């Protein structure tokens, strides 16, 4: 009896999969892009791509999904994809954020990867909508030459396509590429194309079928420091006595062209713009407001070359490493600070408590290869759960500190390939009974009481062996 039932369930699943794939393939067939404009910003080592798509429904059925396709070489470096839709007309236009999720399509050519944009309202037959897409790429600029001397400028390669890779037919498209300076060694010409100042224009191109691709290579000067945090471990310890202690351990590397030869401090100090133009001299960390007890140290000890500026809205910590970082050089250091608990810990209507803190790296214009956030809850906390606005890996640990009996629960969150746009808030929920706050004072009071009783007993007991 069970075999026919399982056979019917399998057949139903297959039919559902076929219908689902047919619906998706039909949405690919009856959608087209009447106009596409792409702007690629190469000013820093984080590549910012702004894509404006005017999508039309030329079919007879409504659709609620628009697909973006990326070559597999870009997906490996894709940090984030965001999409907005334009609503209204003329001066009353507004932008509404849309959900974007990775997805798969059958028979994807050349292993292309897809992201689905879910429209707020289905796009009916004959209607059109304008989508604003932003995606960021990391580790996408390749230094060439790979090694440079202290007095040389940093040149890099950037690889892309003059045509937008899309599963839809594009009637008209144009690509603009902005370089950090006017020094461009070479770039691939795909007519029509031209360069003026710091901008390279490809297009406009007319009537290109789906999955059109035309590789281009741009060789240009980029002296911005390639600051990459290989690993960042942030520990946020909650104390219900009124303090939030944050400790951040950094492993920082300059991921640009490697330094060759001998470093000259004299030349660097006398002419820093010529000798070490791409070096990393200082870092700027944007910390929460009302920060206190800030310290910055490495393996040797405290580093005094730091400046803290605070106001009612933010705190900025400008730090200088012990030595300027050239390509391939690393630095490890620790930043620690305290915060008032009432600014970040709140209670829900069902008597649960939650921490509202910032995810991501406080250092500006840096790429984080791996970020680990550890939220240490007070001893006695139960039912922990984390809410993060993007997918992360989560698990629980236990940490023992002073006067702990059962240990403190630690909520661990890990994510790779982060950029400054990931600096959004997350929440950690848990339940806690105030009676547990008396555990440590009672332990201290009991210890002092037992010590006092032992002293009194020692003074009143005669341990001599004579009468």
Both 55 and 191 in a single domain? yes
Does 316 have pLDDT greater than 60?
yes
Position 372 in a domain = yes
Contact 346, 417 (CB under 8 A): no
User: Tell me: the pLDDT tens digits for 70-106?
Assistant: 988 888 899 999 999 987 776 677 888 999 999 888 7
Total number of domains in the chain: 2
Which of 167, 196, 221 is at the close of a domain? 221
Residues 6+ apart with CB under 8 A from 167: 28, 67, 69, 105, 112, 114, 210, 211
Peptide bond into 91 cis (omega under 30): no
* CA pair distance 303, 158, nearest whole angstrom: 37
pLDDT in tens, 7-58: 444 444 333 333 334 344 445 668 899 999 999 999 999 999 999 999 999 8
Is the model more confident about 464 or about 361? 361
- pLDDT, residue 264, reads 82
Containing structural domain, residue 164: 26-221
Report the CATH number that the domain containing residue 285 is assigned in CATH. 2.60.40.1730
210 and 267 both lie in a single domain? no
Look at residue 86 and tell me if it is in a domain.
Answer: yes
Instruction: Evaluate whether residue 17 is within a structural domain.
Output: no
Residue 215 and residue 246 in one domain: no
Question: What is the DSSP-derived secondary structure letter of residue 276?
Answer: T
- Residue 7 pLDDT: 44
Nearest-angstrom CA–CA distance, 392 and 412: 10
Residues 233, 188: one domain?
A: no
Residue 451 is assigned to a structural domain of this protein: no
More confident: 180 or 312: 180
pLDDT tens sequence across 248-296: 999 999 999 999 888 888 777 777 667 778 889 889 999 999 999 999 9
Provide the b/e sequence for 410-434 (b: ≥16 CB within 10 Å): bbbbebebbbbebeeebebbbebee
**Do residues 297 and 405 share a domain?**
yes
Residue 465 lies in a domain: no
Rounded to 5 degrees, φ, ψ at 109 are -75, 140
Phi-psi region of 434 (alpha: psi -120 to 50; beta: other; left: phi over 0): alpha
């Amino acid at each position: 009896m069970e075999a026919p039932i399982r056979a019917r369930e399998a057949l139903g699943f297959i039919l559902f999969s076929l219908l689902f794939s047919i619906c998706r393939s039909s949405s690919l067939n009856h959608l087209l892009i009447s106009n596409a404009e792409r702007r690629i910003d190469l000013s820093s080592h984080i590549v910012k791509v702004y894509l404006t798509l005017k999508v039309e429904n030329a079919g007879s059925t409504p659709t609620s999904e628009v697909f973006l396709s990326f070559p597999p070489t870009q997906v490996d470096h894709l940090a984030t994809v965001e999409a907005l839709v334009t609503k209204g007309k003329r001066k009353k236009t507004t932008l509404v954020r849309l959900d974007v999720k990775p997805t798969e399509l059958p028979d994807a050519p050349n292993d292309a990867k897809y992201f689905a944009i879910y429209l707020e309202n289905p796009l009916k037959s004959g209607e059109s909508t304008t989508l604003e897409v932003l995606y960021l790429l990391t580790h996408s600029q390749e230094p060439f030459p790979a090694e440079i001397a202290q007095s040389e400028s940093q040149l890099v390669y950037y690889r892309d396509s003059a045509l937008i890779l899309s599963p839809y037919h594009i009637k008209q498209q144009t690509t603009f590429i902005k370089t950090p300076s006017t020094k461009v060694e070479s770039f691939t010409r795909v007519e029509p194309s031209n360069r003026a100042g710091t901008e390279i224009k490809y297009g406009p191109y007319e009537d290109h079928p789906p999955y059109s691709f035309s590789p281009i290579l741009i060789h240009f000067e980029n002296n911005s420091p390639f600051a990459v945090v290989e690993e960042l471990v942030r520990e946020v310890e909650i104390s219900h006595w009124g303090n939030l202690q944050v400790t951040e351990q950094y492993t920082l590397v300059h991921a640009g062209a490697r330094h060759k030869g001998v470093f000259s401090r004299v030349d660097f100090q006398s002419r820093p713009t010529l000798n070490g133009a791409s070096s990393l001299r200082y870092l700027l960390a944007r910390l929460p407001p009302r920060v206190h007890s800030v310290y910055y140290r490495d393996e040797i000890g405290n580093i005094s070359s730091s400046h803290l500026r605070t106001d009612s809205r933010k705190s900025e910590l400008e730090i200088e490493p012990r030595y300027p970082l050239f390509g391939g050089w690393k630095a490890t250091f620790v930043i620690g600070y305290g915060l008032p608990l009432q600014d970040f810990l709140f209670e829900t209507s069902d008597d649960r408590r939650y921490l509202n803190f910032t995810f991501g790296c406080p250092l500006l214009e840096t790429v984080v290869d791996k970020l680990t956030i550890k939220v240490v809850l007070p001893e006695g906390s139960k039912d922990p759960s984390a809410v993060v606005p993007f997918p992360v890996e989560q698990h629980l640990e236990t940490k023992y500190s002073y006067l702990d009996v059962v240990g403190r629960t630690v909520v661990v969150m890990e994510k790779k390939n982060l950029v400054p746009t990931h600096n959004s808030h997350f929440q950690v929920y848990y339940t806690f009974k105030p009676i547990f706050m008396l555990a440590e004072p009672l332990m201290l009071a009991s210890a002092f009481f037992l010590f006092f009783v032992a002293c009194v007993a020692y003074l009143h007991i005669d341990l001599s062996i004579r009468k």
